């Protein structure tokens, strides 16, 4: 897929169509780091980022994330002559986590989430709340 084929989503704060802007993403695998030029959606009216206060708000949707993942993989293979190794960050045994779900929260929701999660990462805490063990009905720990 080409970036021109992506359908511009609406900004979640003002509902105006977003525009694509350049972004540099740094891919790290072990001691190797590769900066890759990718894209991000940006609010066309300049809405501020609700968490950082910077303007304009930038974000990615599922389609843009998939396109960016392909670009990063191509750039890595072109630069290093090998496929992009899997990330070892947060590595665990079992089925790999490879499905992304973009979720937008309000500032107050994030505050409640951060207060409740303690020392856990946001992802681990949400996973614990959402994924239950079928046999016991308890949260998967």
| pLDDT, tens only, 42-68 | 999 999 988 788 889 999 998 999 999
Task: Give Dmax (Cα) for the chain.
Answer: 49
Residue 67 C-beta-side C-alpha neighbours within 13 Å: 18
Mean pLDDT, the chain, rounded, equals 85
Q: Which tens digits make up the pLDDT trace of 10-19?
A: 998 999 999 9
Contact of 25 with 72, CB cutoff 8 Å: yes
Domain residue spans of the chain: 3-89, 105-141
Angle at 124 between CA 119 and CA 127, to 5 degrees: 140
Three-class SS of 75-122: HHHHHHCCCCCCCCCCCCCCCCCCCCCCCCCCHHHHHHHHHHHCCCCH
């Amino acid at each position: 897929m080409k970036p021109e084929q992506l359908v511009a989503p609406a900004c979640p704060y003002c509902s105006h169509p977003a525009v694509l802007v350049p972004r540099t993403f740094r891919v790290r695998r072990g001691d190797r780091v590769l900066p890759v030029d990718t894209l991000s959606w940006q609010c066309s009216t300049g809405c501020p980022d609700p968490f950082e206060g910077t303007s304009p708000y930038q974000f990615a949707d599922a389609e843009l994330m998939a396109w960016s993942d392909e670009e990063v993989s191509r750039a890595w293979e072109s630069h290093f002559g090998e496929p992009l190794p899997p990330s070892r960050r947060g590595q665990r045994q079992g089925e790999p986590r490879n499905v992304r779900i973009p979720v937008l929260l309000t500032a107050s929701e994030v505050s409640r989430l951060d207060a409740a999660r303690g020392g856990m990462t946001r992802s681990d805490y949400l996973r614990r709340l959402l994924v239950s063990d079928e046999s016991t009905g308890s949260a998967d720990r």
